[in-house]
Amino acid sequence: MLTKNQFNAARSMALTYFEKAGIALTDEEKESIEVADFGLSELENTGLELITYVNTGRCCAKELILFPHQTCPEHRHPPIEGEPGKEETFRCRWGEVYLYVEGEPVKEPKAIAPKGREEAYTVWNEVILKPGQQYTLYPNTKHWFQGGIDGAVISEFSTKSRDEADIFTDKDIQRIPEVGE
């Protein structure tokens, strides 16, 4: 669980990334930045800061922030409600992202899985995204990603987002965060 202080610090830090990337947010949006620690209470290692611009029954757009070497853990988006699962395109806007996608193994990856949790990560198909570069991930494909040395700002364009349906490899993970007092 995140403490209220940790949550506020992460939100303030995320704002500095939006500024560095030149992305304008409304005041309401600044107050609604989501901080996900995935229930692990190790936000610096495993976490994600994000804002959802739109999420209808048909499509979704978000802005994702990764702090330096912060990891969004391995997961997939399974078929749901008669649909083939979430399809998503990650477009790097600022910084650098190391993305790993189900496929061929990689020998010397740029990213290192969070310490003590290595079993929940597979190092395969390494995709390095710099500003202006993007990658489209098809449904139900396992993936994880990590911010580079300066962190990253990433636009996500996708079909409907249902975070509660995501399946994580690490069984300790709980996607919907709890924030303490």
Q: Which residues on neighbouring strands pair with residue 89, listed in sequence order?
A: 136, 157
For 104-139, letters b (16+ CB in 10 Å) and e give eeeeebebebbeebeebbbbbbbbebeeeebbebeb
* Smallest separation, CB 34 to a copy of itself (Å): 17
Contact with a copy of itself (CB under 8 A) among 9, 13, 61, 127: 61
Considering only 8-16, 109-117, 119-127, 156-164, which stretch makes contact with a copy of itself by CB under 8 A? 156-164
* Smallest separation, CB 80 to a copy of itself (Å): 14
Name, in order, each residue with C-beta under 8 angstroms of 81's C-beta and a sequence gap of 6 or more: none
Q: Which of residues 38-57 bind a copy of itself (CB under 8 A)?
A: 53-54, 56
> How far from the centroid of its chain's Cα atoms is residue 104's Cα?
22
The residues of the shown chain that bind a copy of itself, judged by CB under 8 A, are: 21-26, 29, 53-54, 56, 58-61, 87, 89, 91-94, 131-134, 136, 155, 157-159
